[in-house]
C-alpha cells in the first residue's frame, strides 16, 4: 500500500476521474466565493455610504436649508424598462445632522407642480438613499432633475440640478434624442 491518500477502488474510467478530481472540485467550491469577496465588500461599503454614492463623484444640491449630495448609480444612459419607460437610478446622501428633520426625499425630471407630483421617493439609509426615476419621453435637456424634501413639520423644499451636472450620460442621451426628433 502506498503512503498517499487512498484513491478509492473505482473500477470504471468515469469513477477514477471523479476520484482524482473531487479534491480539485472541493477546492474550487472554496475559491470561487473568495473571488467575489471584493465586489461584495464594495457593494456593502456603498450601502453604508463609505464608498460613495455611485459611479461618479456626487454633486451637491441645495434643497432649502439642506445641502444634499446626489450621484448616478452607474454611468450608463437610462435603461428602457418596457411599460415603465426609460429609467435611471440615483443615490442621495443626506447632510450630516439633518437626518432627523427630513421625512422624505423625492426626485423627478422637471419642476414638480405640487408635492403630490414630486416623483420617485428615495429609500434606504440616510447615508445612501436610492431612487429609480422615470425619464419621460417628453423630457428635455433643460428640464433638469428636481429634488423635493419634505420635513417632519410638513414644510417642503425644492432644488434643481442640471442633467449635465448630475448625469452626463443622461444629458448626452437626451441631447441625442432631441436631435433625432427634429
pLDDT digits (tens, 9 = 90+) for 125-175: 888 899 999 999 888 888 999 999 999 999 999 999 999 998 999 999 999
Question: 28 in a domain, yes or no?
Answer: yes
Say which residue, 8 or 33, is predicted with more confidence.
33
d(CA 177, CA 59): 24
The residues, ordered by sequence, that sit 6+ positions from 77 with a Cβ below 8 Å of its Cβ are 169, 170, 172, 173
Residues 83 and 33 in one domain: no
Residue 159: CB atoms within 10 Å: 18
* Whether the Cβ atoms of residue 111 and residue 160 lie closer than 8 Å to each other: yes
Question: 170 in a domain, yes or no?
Answer: yes
Residues 18 and 95 in one domain: no
Residues 83 and 172 in one domain: yes
pLDDT value at residue 180? 73
State the total domains in the chain: 2
Please determine, for residue 39, whether its predicted confidence score (pLDDT) is greater than 60.
yes
Residues 41 and 68 in one domain: no
Return the CATH number at 107: 2.60.40
**Which of 113, 92, 93 is CA-nearest to residue 158?**
113
Rounded to the nearest 5 degrees, what angle is found at the Cα of 145, between the Cα atoms of 143 and 147? 135
Residues 90 and 175 in one domain: yes
Question: 103 in a domain, yes or no?
Answer: yes
Please, what's the b/e burial string for 10-44 (b: 16 or more CB within 10 A of its CB; e: otherwise)?
eeeeeeeeeeeeeeeeeeeeeeeeeeeeeeeeeee
pLDDT band of residue 74 (cuts 50, 70, 90) is confident
Please determine, for residue 2, whether its predicted confidence score (pLDDT) is greater than 60.
no
**Which of 84, 101, 95, 169 is CA-nearest to residue 129?**
95
Question: 4 in a domain, yes or no?
Answer: no
Residues 95 and 171 in one domain: yes
Rounded to the nearest 5 degrees, what angle is found at the Cα of 60, between the Cα atoms of 85 and 70? 30
For 157, phi then psi, to 5°, come to -130, 145
d(CA 36, CA 74): 20
Residues 34 and 69 in one domain: no
Residues 88 and 152 in one domain: yes
The domain in which residue 14 lies consists of 10-51
Residues 91 and 165 in one domain: yes
pLDDT band of residue 41 (cuts 50, 70, 90) is confident
Question: 2 in a domain, yes or no?
Answer: no
Question: 1 in a domain, yes or no?
Answer: no
Residues 169 and 92 in one domain: yes
Amino acid at each position: 500500500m502506498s503512503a498517499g491518500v487512498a484513491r478509492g477502488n473505482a473500477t470504471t474510467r468515469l469513477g477514477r476521474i471523479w476520484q482524482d478530481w473531487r479534491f480539485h472540485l472541493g477546492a474550487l467550491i472554496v475559491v470561487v466565493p473568495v473571488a467575489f469577496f471584493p465586489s461584495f465588500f464594495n457593494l456593502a461599503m456603498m450601502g453604508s455610504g463609505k464608498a460613495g454614492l455611485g459611479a461618479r463623484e456626487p454633486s451637491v444640491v441645495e434643497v432649502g436649508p439642506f445641502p444634499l449630495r446626489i450621484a448616478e448609480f452607474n454611468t450608463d444612459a437610462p435603461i428602457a424598462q418596457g411599460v415603465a419607460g426609460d429609467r435611471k437610478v440615483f443615490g442621495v446622501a443626506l447632510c450630516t445632522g439633518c437626518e432627523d428633520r427630513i421625512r422624505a426625499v423625492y426626485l423627478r425630471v422637471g419642476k414638480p407642480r405640487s408635492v403630490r407630483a414630486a416623483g420617485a421617493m428615495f429609500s434606504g439609509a440616510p447615508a445612501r438613499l436610492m431612487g429609480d426615476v422615470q425619464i419621460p419621453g417628453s423630457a428635455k435637456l433643460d428640464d433638469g432633475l428636481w429634488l423635493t424634501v419634505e420635513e417632519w413639520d410638513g414644510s417642503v423644499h425644492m432644488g434643481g440640478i442640471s442633467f449635465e451636472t448630475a448625469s452626463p450620460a443622461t444629458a448626452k442621451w437626451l441631447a441625442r434624442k432631441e436631435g433625432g426628433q427634429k
